[in-house]
Structure 1
Amino acid sequence: MAKVIGLGGIFFRSRDPAALGQWYATHLGLEVNSAFGGAIFAEDEARPGYTLWTPFAAHSDYLGEPAQACMINFRVDDLDALLARLADAGVWVDERREEGEFGRFGWIRDPDGHRVELWQPPG
């Protein structure tokens, strides 16, 4: 059965993502990557992929509705099968998909209306 196999990332809105990233680097030791303003946590040998911590601009539409302060990204083992099963169960599934060098992405909404990102890493 297709399922979640790990946490892919925590994404959230910030009034000043660069300053917030610097604060976390200074005070908590996060290694903030200047290419995307977030931190990458190492791959787990038992599960493919990695985990991201990323602040987004407060006005970003990537996280869904403006009232949604954060979005969780889950790593999944079979994106297509999981999205089909969720749709069959009556879960709202975004028709849009993205595919690129980092893998495949799809989105759903939970019962509270939160946008949730599902990520199948490449390979």
Structure 2
Amino acid sequence: MKRVTGIGGIFIKARDPDALRAWYRDHLGLDVSEWGGVAFRWNADNPAAVGTTIWSLFKQDSDYFAPSTAPFMINYRVADLHALLAALREEGCNVVEKVDESEYGKFGWVLDPEGNKIELWQPPEGQ
């Protein structure tokens, strides 16, 4: 019997859900539906590409989520990391200055208005 076959959703508590939804819509381009969420369709733009979602645990004392104090971080796939980070800076968002580039892709970070750290990931070509 198969049990877990993937990640079905990510749910976040917010002090002001309407304002936070608007921030994610306006700054990250999430197409928030009337019911309040977003349904991602993997590889909809390129069915031949490989798509993955990573699930990972970190030690309690990890500083990888810093400066956020939230016990979670969401990683969003992006098409052009550097262009998005530049746009977020111009829009006055709290962008972390560090960018990592490796064989796993390009990684950048921004904090949402409630202090949650968001990882932005541009996958390597073909993924």
TM-score > 0.5, shorter chain as reference: yes
Q: TM-score range by the shorter chain?
A: 0.5 to 0.7
Supply the AA of the counterpart residue of 1:51.
T
**What is the CA-CA distance between 1:68 and the residue it aligns to?**
1.3
1:60 is matched with which residue?
62
**Larger RCO (CA within 8 A; separation ≥ 6):** 1
Matched, 1:74 2:76: yes
Query: Where do 5+ consecutive residues of structure 2 fail to align?
Result: 7-41
For residues 75 and 112 of structure 2, the distance between their equivalents in structure 1, rounded to whole angstroms, comes to 13
Structure whose residues are more often strand by fraction: 1
Across the two proteins, how many residue pairs are aligned to each other?
A: 86
CA RMSD of superposed structures (Å)? 2.4
Supply the AA of the counterpart residue of 2:115.
G
Stretches of 4+ aligned residues off by more than 4 angstroms? 28-31
Query: Where do 5+ consecutive residues of structure 1 fail to align?
Result: 1-27, 32-43
Query: Does structure 1 retain, via aligned residues, the 8 Å contact 2:68–2:111?
Result: no
Scaled by the length of structure 2, the TM-score of the pair is: 0.60
**What is the CA-CA distance between 1:66 and the residue it aligns to?**
6.6
Matched, 1:118 2:120: yes
